[in-house]
Amino acid sequence: MNALYLAAANLRFHWARTLVLVVAAALVLAVPVLTRALLAQGEAALAARAEATPLLLGTRGSRLDLVMAGAYFTDDLPEPATLAASEAVWDSGLGIPVPLYTAFTTGEARIVGTTLDYFDLRGLEAAEGRPFALLGEAVLGASAAARLRLGPGDTVLSNPENLFDLDGAYPLEMTVVGVLAPTGTPDDEAVFTDIKTAWVIAGIGHGHDDILAEGEDAAAAAARVVQYARITEANIDSFHFHGDPATYPVTAVMVVPHDERSATILRGRYLDAEGPVQAVVPADVIDALVARLLRIAALVDAVTLVVGAAAALALGLALFLTWRLRAPEMRTAFALGAGRGTIARLALAEIGLVLLAAALLAAPLVIALQSHAPTIAARLIALGS
């Protein structure tokens, strides 16, 4: 008790030094635990999302890019496929195709152009408002809504793709009509629109005043065209699309086969290495990725151990130097009848109190971050590209 009393008095008196030691020790304790928790949660989130996405179609190329873009809405986009891939699945009667076009962003959130089937298949429900129904409407994922501080009635503006490309995609202002309930998946980070709205952003569809004067050449009139940057009740009827819908771009097509047999047949149809479209089972791709992550995690563990040991040594050195400064006090204590055991108890009490305070500081931090780990992991996955 005497050792604890003296240790507490000394730590209290040198509170600034104690605070630095406690914070440093808390970080040494918390960071490896948090890293491990986030890694585990990230793996779990990746695997769960992959399991919930039976099949993805997309342009032949990197299977990982297709899965990451189609299931996790990351920034690495594969070459777009066409809506024909979706129509082919629909015509086959083997499953429900859900086209996804994720080429654009608003703020840091990815705009996911899709159909209402996506909400049904993912089990997404609106916490506020309603799903999109008209061209130019958007529904926000829970985290995106919180981060952008938007709700039904507000508007979001798509990011311009290239300010200096006059022929490129122009920003489109969309009306927020709903906010989804949180799911702990990449859907929380996305902004959903009808896929036609996404095509409007891409410039495939547009609306403008009818400016063609009688007898005027259409090419001459085109120079006067002012395209709408917002879709309203007044101008929605002027919006139209050019070209064959089958050629419209899609990032991926999520397919929910009717049964195992249909899934097998569908996969078989895209086995031809020369074909433009590939079918991937996200769970297979993610299993391979997680296996790699686990190997990296082992490396991270080793690095964490070394860094932790170095940090612990640095803390130990700081304590040792502090102790050296107290040599006169120890000499006095010895003269007054203290033994080596008393001095050791005093040192251990101080180290123990610092570690206890560090643990008390680290514990709520770890608990708080662990409770938010699914959201953080989902955001990291959405951003991780």
Partner 1 sequence: MISIRELRFAYGSGFALDLPALDVAARERVAVVGPSGAGKTTLLNLVSGIAVPDRGRVTLDGTEIGALPDRARRRLRAASIGFVFQEFALVDYLNAEENVLYPYRVGAGLRLDRAARDRARALLADFGLGGKTRRRPAELSQGERQRVAIARALVTRPKVILADEATGNLDPANKAAALDLLFAQATDTGAALLCVTHDHELLPRFDRVIDFAELRQAA
Tell me the per-residue interface mask from 14 to 33 with partner 1, x by CB under 8 A, - otherwise: x-------------------
Measured from the CB atom, the residue of 299 and 336 that comes closer to partner 1 is: 336
Q: Does position 9 bind partner 1 by CB under 8 A?
A: yes
Q: Does position 261 bind partner 1 by CB under 8 A?
A: no
Measured from the CB atom, the residue of 9 and 298 that comes closer to partner 1 is: 9
Question: Distance between CA atoms of 357 and 354, rounded to whole angstroms?
Answer: 5
Residue among 207, 276, 199 at smallest CA distance from 244: 199
Shortest spacing between CB 19 and partner 1, in angstroms: 15
Question: Distance between CA atoms of 368 and 370, rounded to whole angstroms?
Answer: 5
Shortest spacing between CB 360 and partner 1, in angstroms: 22
Site for partner 1 in 335-364 (CB under 8 A): 335-339, 342, 346
Measured from the CB atom, the residue of 342 and 370 that comes closer to partner 1 is: 342
Measured from the CB atom, the residue of 47 and 330 that comes closer to partner 1 is: 330
Shortest spacing between CB 14 and partner 1, in angstroms: 7
> Cβ atoms within 10 A of the Cβ of 101, count?
26
160, 169 contact by CB (below 8 A): yes
CA atoms within 13 A on the CB side of 279: 21
Measured from the CB atom, the residue of 226 and 321 that comes closer to partner 1 is: 321
Contacts with partner 1 by CB under 8 A: the residue count is: 21
In the three-class reduction of DSSP (H, G, I as helix; E, B as strand; rest coil), residue 290 is classed as helix
In the three-class reduction of DSSP (H, G, I as helix; E, B as strand; rest coil), residue 249 is classed as strand
Q: Does position 328 bind partner 1 by CB under 8 A?
A: yes
Residue among 192, 3, 175 at smallest CA distance from 116: 192
What lies within 8 Å, CB to CB, of 301 at 6+ separation is: 32, 36
141, 190 contact by CB (below 8 A): yes
Select the span of 69-77, 136-144, 230-238, 330-338 touching partner 1 (CB under 8 A). Answer: 330-338
Shortest spacing between CB 369 and partner 1, in angstroms: 35
Question: Distance between CA atoms of 115 and 253, rounded to whole angstroms?
Answer: 11
Residue 177: φ, ψ to 5°: -115, -10
Shortest spacing between CB 354 and partner 1, in angstroms: 15
Measured from the CB atom, the residue of 321 and 335 that comes closer to partner 1 is: 335
Measured from the CB atom, the residue of 241 and 334 that comes closer to partner 1 is: 334
| Of 130, 224, 258, 331, the one binding partner 1 by CB under 8 A | 331
Q: Does position 332 bind partner 1 by CB under 8 A?
A: yes
Residue among 66, 105, 291 at smallest CA distance from 189: 105
Instruction: Name the site residues for partner 1 (rule: CB under 8 A).
Output: 2, 5-6, 9-10, 12-14, 328-329, 331-339, 342, 346
